[in-house]
Structure 1
Amino acid sequence: MFRTITFLAVAAVLVSICGSYSFGEPANKQPGNIAQVWEYRVIALADLVSVQQALQADQRPQVVQTIEAKFNQLGRDGWEYSGDLPGTAIFKRLKR
């Protein structure tokens, strides 16, 4: 239980740090009064890095690098960071 809470705290810090990066501009907004339709993608940080890796100080640079690489790929694919929930990062883009 303690490890899970610690991992979630570390993950929240990493997401907040990575949240300050720009991941590209969203696609052009639709003209007029047409409502925009978004699609969302939720990334579980535990799918990117292990709890043990996140808890080890000597592994933190690798953890950050792994998460940044994933976030940068999502940005290249048109996804924009939108927010987070404990242990996750949420991205959105205009529905294609």
Structure 2
Amino acid sequence: MGNELPLMGQLHEALVGAARERLSDATRSLSATDIHLLFTGAAQGALRASAHVTGGGRSVCFCEAELRDAQGQTVARAMGTFRYA
């Protein structure tokens, strides 16, 4: 991911991607029920978001994401809760 999206957009996209990877049925819908954002530093250059699933069950998924700058420094973190329908 690049700088096309605002910071929160990049983190949200990464969180959703991680939550979708956990779905075995691609037709199920997904909705965010809670997202927390923490800025940890100033961004330098291009930004890259990554995310992973930290827990959940059949109907809820918990994910965390990091946004790193070109030097590899974390500039923002996000935690999200998603509900599967």
TM-score using structure 2 length = 0.35
TM-score using structure 1 length = 0.32
Structure with the higher strand share, 1 or 2:
2
Structure with the higher helix share, 1 or 2:
1
